[in-house]
Amino acid sequence: MLHGMTDPPDFRIENSELRGEDEFSEFSNTDLPYYSDWHGSFEKLPWATDVEALAAAAPDVAIVGAPLDDAVSSRPGARFGPRAIRMAPSAWSSEYAWSIQLATEPYANLKVVDAGDAPIVPARLDRGLRVTHEKVFQVASSGAIPIVLGGDHSITYPSAAAVSRYRWPRKVGIVHFDAHADTGPEQWGSLVGHGTPMRRLIEEGWIDGPNFVQVGLRGYWPEKETFDWMNEQGLRWHTMVEMEDRGSEAVIADAIAEALDGPDCIYLSVDIDVVDPGMAPGTGTPEAGGMLSRELLRAVRQIVGAVDLVGMDVVEVSPPYDQSELTAILAHRVVMEAISALGKKKNDA
């Protein structure tokens, strides 16, 4: 048709919109962009913030916020992590999400809710840990897998203990991604801090040392005496040097086998500083030379796809130090990879 025209066509876009009959109600809350009509929940998922709501919803997975950073040894700000992770930019609707990595619809058969935050207040660290423990225990007791958004890494102590308490006497193994071992005996005289949670879990008997496996360790802390204690407890760890030499996938396969050497289920803890600070700058204790973001996301898929996941946390996102929301986006995607792997298993069942 164009070849028969003597004049060029008009450039017009008046018919470019596929308009609904009622533009005001054309899009549902979940169809709108992530930043529009956002009521505060992860992925705009429905809220189920108390025991009764959890019982009524009967979810497979529940998001929990732990906005606590009173246990940090360096830069604060992780108390704002749960909000930043929930608000991280995305380009999909939870109703129509499609995992390209796993070729699955994460939410097709997996029911996920946001259980809200533990009722944490500033300046009362011990109380914050206690209410986090009870919040996670409530979620686990509902039958849902709790995915906890930190907060500094001290919240793994009450969270993993709550999952272990619910699963007792079933034994739980832990795979822990971190630049730091977080097995210090104390933190300036305090037995609780973001550098001590793993020691507390082991010493109190929530997790057996040989089934506590750490991935991504590097840098210059903790000191040799702490690694000697870790050896005595039977902890197993894989440094960044080993990952560089052997490759991430082989190391993760070993970590899974070690964590399941006795237990039959896994709690997964991800400190975002396991990733190189060039890709995750918004964290309190960055350490150069870490994992690539794609390596971490692949590792999460590999672990959750292979084990019985009974709990998880993503910690140490500190928005005041973030750049262009890079760290919050990565933490959000870590959660999404876990949800997608869980969804795929249910879809394929």
- Taking the C-alpha atoms of residue 275 and residue 292, their distance in angstroms, rounded to an integer, is 6
* Nearest of 136, 151, 131 to residue 66 by alpha carbon: 151
Average pLDDT over residues 268-279: 98
Q: What is the mean pLDDT of residues 56-70?
A: 98
pLDDT surpasses 90 at 28: no
Bridge partner list, 112:
61
For residues 333-344, give the mean pLDDT: 98
pLDDT of the residue at 47: 98
Cα–Cα distance measured from residue 291 to residue 273, given in angstroms and rounded to the nearest whole number:
9
Q: Check whether 2 has a pLDDT greater than 70.
A: no
Using only C-alpha atoms, the chain has a radius of gyration, in whole angstroms, of 22
Query: What pLDDT score does 20 carry?
Result: 64
| pLDDT confidence bin for 92, thresholds 50/70/90 | confident
Fold annotation for 33-348: Arginase; Chain A (3.40.800)
User: What residue segments make up the domains of the chain, in order of their start?
Assistant: 33-348
What is the mean pLDDT of the segment spanning 311-315?
Answer: 98
Return the pLDDT at 239: 98
Per-residue pLDDT for 306 more than 90?
Answer: yes
Q: What is the mean pLDDT of residues 252-279?
A: 98
pTM, whole model, 2 decimals? 0.94
Residue 30 confidence class, pLDDT cut points 50, 70, 90? confident
State yes or no: pLDDT of 69 exceeds 70: yes
Spell out the residues 6+ positions from residue 67 whose beta carbon is closer than 8 angstroms to its own: 79, 80, 81, 82, 83, 117, 118, 120, 151
Q: Is the dihedral of CA 268, 163, 256, 184 positive or negative?
A: positive
Intra-chain end-to-end CA distance of the chain, in Å: 53
* Contact assessment for residue 73 and residue 187, using Cβ atoms and an 8 Å cutoff: yes
For residue 284, give every residue at least 6 positions away whose Cβ sits within 8 Å of its Cβ, in sequence order, or none.
69, 72, 74, 75, 76, 77, 78, 152, 194, 273, 316, 318, 321
pLDDT digits (tens, 9 = 90+) for 217-236: 999 999 999 999 999 999 99
The least confident of 8-22, 137-151, 154-168, 302-316 is 8-22
CB 143 within 8 A of CB 311: no
DSSP-assigned letter for residue 268 = E
What digits encode the pLDDT tens for the residues 242-253?
A: 999 999 999 999
Could you tell me the pLDDT band of residue 38, with boundaries at 50, 70 and 90?
confident
E-strand stretches of the chain: 61-66, 112-117, 145-150, 172-177, 212-217, 236-239, 265-271, 309-315
Give me the mean pLDDT over the 154-163 stretch: 98
